[in-house]
Amino acid sequence: MIIYRLYIIADTRALHDELTKLPNRRYFMQSYRQQFELAKRYKKQHNFALVNLDLDHLKRVNDTYGHDAGDKVLLETAKRVKGSLRRSDMVARMGGDEFLIMLYNPKSEESLQALLKKIELTLCSTPVIYGEDLITLNISMGYAMFKPEIASPEQMMKTADARMYQHKRGKYH
């Protein structure tokens, strides 16, 4: 019984981010590739969408307020994003200031964009309280909706990444 519990704890730690308790890169990528293959096999249009979310200026938060403040920002980000999604959707911390979201069966590109606006409002309209300081969040997001003509999970990921960097450049240049 003890060995089994230790196995469960080790397995959970191997697949989840230690700080946020969200799925980690390994867990997410495994799920993402499976979802991509299923969607590809059944040629489902818009069966799922991939969203890349990046916290802007987390290094500045760490440098200004300390790493505990950065951790608080990451925890609050995880909580707020998860609270904006349906239970069936998945958010994972990929490391550092990057999160990936897998949204199942978005109705349309317009509904996906509306959800992204909701996530941005949820994250950025209320500062994170750290002691007596208020830390305002800024994010950049990009997305890709599954289409049967997408060749690979990597190609879909590149589309979401490119849109995220385009969003970031549009805000800061």
Is 133 a residue of the active site?
no
Q: From the candidates 56, 63, 97, 161, give the one annotated as an active-site residue.
A: 97
User: What's 98's DSSP letter?
Assistant: E
| Helix pair angle (25-42, 2-15), 10° resolution | 70
The DSSP secondary structure of 117-138, one letter per residue, reads HHHHHHHHSSPEEETTEEE---
Number of residues assigned to the chain: 173
- What is the per-residue burial (b if ≥16 Cβ within 10 Å, else e) of 91-125? bbbbeebbbbbbbeebeeeeebeebbeebbebbee
As annotated, the active-site residues are 97
